[in-house]
Structure 1
Amino acid sequence: MTDIVIIGAGVAGMAAAEHLSAAGYSPRLVDKAARPGGRCATRRVAADRDADWFDYGAQYFTVRDDGFRALVDADLRAGRLVHWSPAIASAERVAGTWLLTPSPDDRERLIGPHGLNVWVRQRLQAAGLDVATERHVRRVVAEGKRWRVEYADGTAESADVVVCTPPAVQTAALLGPRAAGIDALAHPDAALAACHSVVVRAPALAERQAIFFKSGRLSWVADNTHKAGRGGEHHLWTLHADATFSEAEVETPTAELADLLVSEFAAATAQRADDMEIVRTHRWRYARPGGGAPDADDLCWTDTAAGLAIAGDWLAGGRVEGAWLSGREAARRLIAAYALD
């Protein structure tokens, strides 16, 4: 059997691994984080499994592709996904005053009943896939007709095929000189843009559970406690900063920007910032598709003769669905090229 290592256990890596496994291969996933999921990032406020949780990366996802629809429907039946139907508002600052109006956006939104990170982990477990976390790949080097995957702890392993799913900048760094000949990595710094994320404990809002911002430093806020189907006076809100603001402040630690973002959330919702408690801050350096992202129609990049594939949402227009489509397409091309040895 062809020996396959997939770097990154987010949605793209998950999709590639699932499709390769279904074709009879035994791919190994490695990820530098403590748990799989990538930007499907979920945390609890305490170690207790019943403690409140919050998504601080992707907040939900939507479905367009028929193949992804089939996966979503199966996961809805299995209880790995549920629908989320929040009351959404649009916020805009006009003449110094924040105006909130109901949003007509009623598209289908999918979330994990315990967070999107749990959804990824459950799918990997259900497929019986081999996932090694806290395995930080330092570089990937061609070694004859195989690849040598070198880790930060000084260990290494060989593979016939390597699938890279980290963001473009990180993938280019892993491949070193090999990246210079890959069109998809021509502008790695511009493939994805940043996003500052802050989670706050704040009062629940009676008539809205999510807000799109049309102006200011924020782009989106969401009530995670509502997503979890829980009540209470105070809820856990995720605040995502605007793309322009995030890029301008990309080198500033999110903790130093948190008060600005919380104050804007408080002002837009007619609340007091003093009644809010910052729970977590996180700077996503590579969060949204940037101006230098490759053509989304390509979905992924592969060199099957060399045994190398690159996948990720930044190659497929962004979104959770884009990551899945990219990983699936990379696996399809590899399967078509090699069949079963």
Structure 2
Amino acid sequence: MIDILIIGAGVAGMAAAEHLAAAGYRPRLIDKADGPGGRCATRRVAADREAAWFDYGAQYFTARDDGFRALIDSDLDAGRLIRWSPEIASAEQAAGTWLLTPSPDDRERLIGPRGLNLWVRQRLQAAGLRFDTGRRVQRISRDGHDGNRWQVESEHGAVEHADMVVLTPPAAQAAALLGDHARRIDALTNADTALSACHSVVVRAPALAECQAIFFKSGRLSWAADNTHKAGGRGEMHLWTLHSDANFSQAHVETPTAELADALIAEFAAATAQRSDRMEIVGTHRWRYARPGAGAPDADDLCWIDTRAGLAIAGDWLAGGRVEGAWLSGRAVVRRLIAAHALD
């Protein structure tokens, strides 16, 4: 049977692996992170599994495609996902004053009951799929002994081979792994600008009676969400995730997030009429590749494949961003490979 290696155990890698498994294949997944999930990223404030948690990457997702909808409905039934229905507000600065106004909608927002990364892990485990985390790939090249296979080199000298490689990291990282081979891939022409940055800061701050999530229309922030509300928790102090605005993020892409945290917290405090000295930083993270950027391909592309070479590329950046886009991209890879008889 053809040996398939998927690099990246986020949602795109999960979708590709599940569809391959359903077709009778046994793909392997590797990821540089400590666990699967990709930008469905969750941390806990302590090692205890029951400790308070926060999503610091994707905050929630939606489901519109019929195939994705069916998967989501099964996960809702199984308890792997739940619906989150926060009170939403909109924040905008005008004449030096912040206006915080209700902004209700009827959108279905889906989250994990203990964080979104656990949703990805549970789906991989339920499918019996093998994933190996903590493996940072450094180079992908043609096997010097067998030009029909790929050689994947990881740090510390680990080397493995595969008949087919499915790459799901961000475009710039995929291009770096492929080296000179990336120049022959149209989808990677604008790899450096396919995705833009986002700074994420998590703070312990007072709960807000009027809202549990905020869309920012101006300033340094784009989003704030109450993770404690997601988890059904109560109390005076909650864990809030703050995401910076795209323009601010790109202007400070090389600045460590910890150095920007105070400015982002001060803006959150001003918009919500609170005191920043009552807020405590819990965590920071710079997502260098977070949102679709100026160089993102047409969302209709969904994925890129060279069936003769045994190489495929998937990811949300090929499908308009969002969690659902990542899943659609991973599914599209497998559908096209099977249609081309590339998996015979």
Please, what TM-score do these two structures have when normalized by structure 2? 0.98
The residue aligned with 1:263 is 266
The residue aligned with 1:53 is 53
Q: Structure 2 matches for 1:192-271, cutoff 5 A?
A: 192-271=195-274
Alignment gaps of 5+ in structure 2: none
The residue aligned with 2:309 is 306
**Partners in 2 of 1:65 and 1:291 — Cα distance?**
25
**Partners in 2 of 1:58 and 1:226 — Cα distance?**
16
**C-alpha contact (below 8 Å) 1:20/1:335 kept by paired residues:** no
**C-alpha contact (below 8 Å) 1:300/1:327 kept by paired residues:** yes
The residue aligned with 1:152 is 155
State the AA in 1 paired with 2:184: G
User: Which SS does the other structure have where 2:26 is aligned?
Assistant: coil
The root-mean-square deviation of aligned C-alpha atoms, in Å, is: 0.8
**C-alpha contact (below 8 Å) 2:337/2:343 kept by paired residues:** no
1:181 to 169, 181, 184: 184
2:329 to 303, 308, 326: 326
1:287 matched to 2:302? The reply is no
1:140 matched to 2:140? The reply is yes
User: Which SS does the other structure have where 2:107 is aligned?
Assistant: coil
| Distance verdict in 2 for CA 1:340–1:298, change over 3 Å | closer
Aligned length: 341
Shift of 1:335: 2.2
The residue aligned with 1:129 is 129
State the AA in 2 paired with 1:141: S
Alignment gaps of 5+ in structure 1: none
The residue aligned with 1:98 is 98
Residues 17-68 of structure 1, C-alpha deviation per residue, up to 9 Å, x if partnerless? 0000110001000001110100000000001111100000000001111110
The residue aligned with 2:63 is 63
**Partners in 2 of 1:327 and 1:246 — Cα distance?**
28
**Partners in 2 of 1:53 and 1:32 — Cα distance?**
22
| Distance verdict in 2 for CA 1:2–1:338, change over 3 Å | farther
User: Which SS does the other structure have where 2:72 is aligned?
Assistant: helix
State the AA in 2 paired with 1:9: A
**Partners in 1 of 2:179 and 2:343 — Cα distance?**
30
Shift of 1:339: 6.5
User: Which SS does the other structure have where 1:153 is aligned?
Assistant: helix
| Distance verdict in 2 for CA 1:212–1:69, change over 3 Å | same
**Partners in 2 of 1:286 and 1:29 — Cα distance?**
21
State the AA in 2 paired with 1:213: F
**Partners in 2 of 1:237 and 1:202 — Cα distance?**
7
Shift of 1:340: 5.8
| Distance verdict in 2 for CA 1:339–1:290, change over 3 Å | closer
**C-alpha contact (below 8 Å) 1:24/1:340 kept by paired residues:** no
Shift of 1:265: 0.3
| Distance verdict in 2 for CA 1:184–1:340, change over 3 Å | closer
The residue aligned with 1:16 is 16
User: Which SS does the other structure have where 2:291 is aligned?
Assistant: strand
| Distance verdict in 2 for CA 1:339–1:250, change over 3 Å | closer
User: Which SS does the other structure have where 1:92 is aligned?
Assistant: strand
Shift of 1:14: 0.3
